[in-house]
Amino acid sequence: MNHASQSHVCRSMKAECCRRAFTPLRLPAVQAELDCYAAWFRLHRPHQTLQGTTPEERREDEPPAVVRLEPRPRMPIRGDPISVRRVAAVQLRVERFAGREHLPVIRLDAA
């Protein structure tokens, strides 16, 4: 990892994990919080430099099968039609990773 990447990770960790109203003061609690953030960062946080994938998705041999949900009935399908699924509506779901308010897991599902 180069210096610019390390700097970006540290900046993201400070903004998304450490600058909260409540930060634990005991070392084991701080370590647990950092471990939780690292797991969320690896598994659920998309990265612009990875073209919107997570580090875990990039690490796997096969890229994830990204299916675009298309709720607009008259919208023409461009590109690979296999990667598009027509649906009546979509629903945005936001869950919390390990119950942490500051670590969202965002999903878009067919409604």
- 8-51 residue pLDDT tens: 788 888 888 877 656 678 999 889 999 999 999 999 999 888 88
In angstroms, the CA 51 to CA 58 distance is 10
Read off the pLDDT of residues 74-104 as tens digits, 9 standing for 90 and up.
Answer: 999 888 888 899 999 999 999 999 999 999 9
In the chain, where the domains are located: 3-110
Which position has the token pair 């990447």? 5
Rounded Cα–Cα distance for residues 52 and 50 (Å): 6
15: tokens are 């903004």
Distance CA 8, CA 14 (A): 10
Strands 84-86 and 68-70 come out as: parallel
Question: What confidence score (pLDDT) does residue 4 get?
Answer: 67
